[in-house]
Structure 1
Amino acid sequence: MAARQKSLTGGNGLQLPQRQRSYGFSMTAMADMLFQLLIFFMLSASLASFAMLDIRTGTLAGSGGNGGTTTNENVSTGLSPVHSTAVWTLHPDALVASGQRFPLDRIETLARALSEQGTANVLIVLRPDVPVANVIAVLEVLRAHGIDAVQLADGGAA
């Protein structure tokens, strides 16, 4: 044992420097993994329905722009006839139309009824926290029933 201690001290009583072991953590592997996950989720996300949505902006009828349609009936007031406009309030879990609350799975029935009664315009008031997917679903159902004149309005805080 004395011989071993002598070799560590260098024979003349001086302590030899020993290398300190340091264990480091490399962030490179984690950054690579996160980057690959980001690419995976970006490529696997379904963005086609949002990208294919045709959104046109325009002005109200009679407001001076040529984005709206004007008929003899509404030239003097600048507004659409009352019977041809429906107002829907879209909540995160339901739709309110004509003062009645409907579950979101009834949108198809409501759109069919609007189409049958000749309603050409729909104003959708969006309440807070409504998912974009719900807005897209409503717009697609309305378009499928031939109602393309849809306006969105912010409903503000509840």
Structure 2
Amino acid sequence: MQPRSASRYRFALTPLADAMFQLLIFFMLTSSLTPYSLLTIRSGPEAGTVASDPSAEPADEPALPGENAQFWTISQGEVTANGTRFPLDQLPALAAALGQNDQAEVILIMESSAQVQDLTSVLEALTSAGVTSVQIAETGGQP
């Protein structure tokens, strides 16, 4: 009898790579990145505006808050304005009262517990109340 020739089975990685690429495509298509892409945040003057005062501050330096500036701290589900905490459902009335002042400026400070939806709700309420000068300040901490 002749001994059987040892045939080696070759392991092919092609089906495994195909399955990994299909999983990658599946997770990329099912992830929800749309809400973040809908949020537009502007910094500085609007496009197309020209400073009428040549002695105005250069564009690369941050603008200092004026006397009508309001500091709002955003945390999860609430806003702190002038030391008073307001839930987000009272935000439209608060923004409407602030919107009556044409010179109103709002500087938003995000706490670590705040979510993107909280920021979006605040920006939406301020925009609908007519407050156009809104800045988001950095806290200097870890995100």
* TM-score normalised by the chain length of structure 1: 0.62
The 5 A counterparts of 1:29-48 are: 29-41=18-30, 45-47=34-36
Runs of at least 5 residues in structure 2 that lack an aligned partner in the other structure: 46-54
Question: Which is richer in helix?
Answer: 1
**What's the C-alpha RMSD, in Å, of the aligned pairs?**
3.2
Instruction: Identify which of structures 1 and 2 has the higher relative contact order when contacts are C-alpha pairs closer than 8 Å and 6+ apart.
Output: 2
Residue identity matched to 2:56: G
Aligned to 1:64: 56
Q: Which residue of 1 aligns with 2:16?
A: 27
Counterpart mapping for 1:40-119 below 5 A:
40-41=29-30, 45-47=34-36, 49-50=38-39, 53=40, 55-57=42-44, 64-65=56-57, 80-81=66-67, 84-116=68-100
1:54-96 deviation per Cα after TM superposition (whole angstroms, max 9, x unaligned): 51315xxxx83276xxxxxxxxxx7622xx2221101133211
Amino acid aligned to 2:43: R
TM-score, structure 2 normalization: 0.68
Shift of the alpha carbon at 1:115? Answer: 1.8
Larger gyration radius, structure 1 or structure 2: 1
Letter in 2 for 1:35: L
Unaligned 5+ segments in structure 1 are 1-8, 68-77
